[in-house]
Amino acid sequence: MARSLIIPEGYKSTLSLRETQHAIKYIKDVFQQTLSFALTLDRVTAPLIVTTESGINDDLNGVERKVDFTIKEIDGTAEVVQSLAKWKRMALYRYGYSAGEGIYTDMNAIRRDDDVDNVHSIFVDQWDWEKVIKRENRNIDFLKDTVKCIVKAITYTNRKVEMRYPQLKVQINEDVFFIDSQDLEDMYPALTAKERENKICKEHGTVFIMKIGGALKSGEKHDGRAPDYDDWNLNGDLLIWHEALDCALEVSSMGIRVDEKSLKEQLKICNTEERLNFKYHSMIADGTLPLTIGGGIGQSRLCMLMLGKAHIGEVQVSVWPEEMAEKCRANGIMIL
């Protein structure tokens, strides 16, 4: 079942289809170079498929079905990745990266159980990044500093885009407002999590909501997180106000990753302690894998934000319910 489709009144794309394709490439070229410099990241290649037995695929909220299949010459099952949260940490270990160094990659994934709407697609394209850190960096201040670097890369790219396409007038606030998910619930206890996000983001423009994954005082979670990659006390979501849709747009989910202590604690909370039998999890538990920070930055979401697009299908090619595609066409939203 698709989420509700938003048709902004009087919407018309500022750029033509051809201009849009040129602008998408420009945004991706500028941003990834800027991000790489800001966070000291090397570009690496990444997998589209992994084996089920590796335990390295992202479980997201733990209930989503992966796209899996058998392979003629290999025993077991292969899966299309849902994200590369675990793979990146293993890669840093295998490639011999040290503290202060990291990697980024183009991550393409399929999330077959995602509802689709203006900002959600079953096809996910991100810049996934990961960086080795020291144990003394596992704190909120280091997380905030990293978020600020990412936002500066976003606003720099947006300025470059506006110089090339002066008809675009997208404003992105570089001053990030930080707030814990519990403090946000305390501010707006009668609102849902998404309503709270819209409320705070409309006021501040750019917001980073911290500590996502654990239960709040209400008993509800602000949002779901798998227990085995982010430390729920040292993570968050980056939201930027999107004028075209009049809502908060999540452009990044990121955080300092679990260490041996937080991994065991979060697996116990989720009753998934059997995952410690996987190689990836055991290498965290015994201290083999490096301590890291990382996340994903939505490529299509960043493009739709900077280009003032009303639907993610205007900047990526995917599969949509025919009713949604027809309604978009009828209202001037040109799906690629």
Q: Is residue 252 among the annotated active site residues?
A: no
Give me the domains of the chain, ranges plus CATH numbers: 17-330 (3.30.930.10)
Q: How far apart are CA 258 and CA 290, in angstroms?
A: 10
**CA–CA dist 247, 201 (Å, integer):** 8
Separation CA 314–CA 97 (nearest Å):
37
Which whole-number Å values give the CA distances from 85 to 16, 88, 131, 286, in the listed order? 35, 6, 11, 19
- Supply the pTM of this predicted model: 0.91
* Tokens representing residue 203 in the block: 């006021």
pLDDT in tens, the chain (336 residues): 345 888 888 888 999 999 999 999 999 999 999 999 999 999 999 888 888 777 777 766 666 788 888 888 888 888 888 878 888 999 999 999 999 999 999 998 888 888 888 999 989 999 999 999 999 999 999 999 999 999 999 999 999 999 999 999 899 999 999 999 999 999 999 999 999 999 999 999 999 999 999 999 999 999 988 898 899 999 999 999 999 999 999 999 999 999 999 999 999 999 999 989 888 899 999 999 999 999 999 999 999 999 999 999 999 989 888 888 889 888 889 888
Among 114, 45, 54, 60, CA closest to 79 = 54
CA distance 320 to 336: 11
- Is 300 part of the annotated catalytic residue set? no
Of 45, 36, 153, whose CA–CA distance to 106 is shortest? 45
Indicate the angle between helix axes 299-306 and 140-164, nearest 10 degrees: 50
Question: In 98-107, which positions are buried (b, 16+ CB within 10 angstroms) versus exposed (e)?
Answer: eeebbbbbeb
Active-site hit among 36, 83, 181, 253? 253
Respond yes or no: is residue 230 known to be catalytic.
no
User: Catalytic residue among 197, 250, 259, 314, which?
Assistant: 250
Active-site pick, 58, 59, 130, 259:
58
- 316 labelled catalytic: no
Alpha-carbon span 223 to 317, nearest angstrom: 27
Instruction: For residue 59, indicate whether it is catalytic.
Output: no
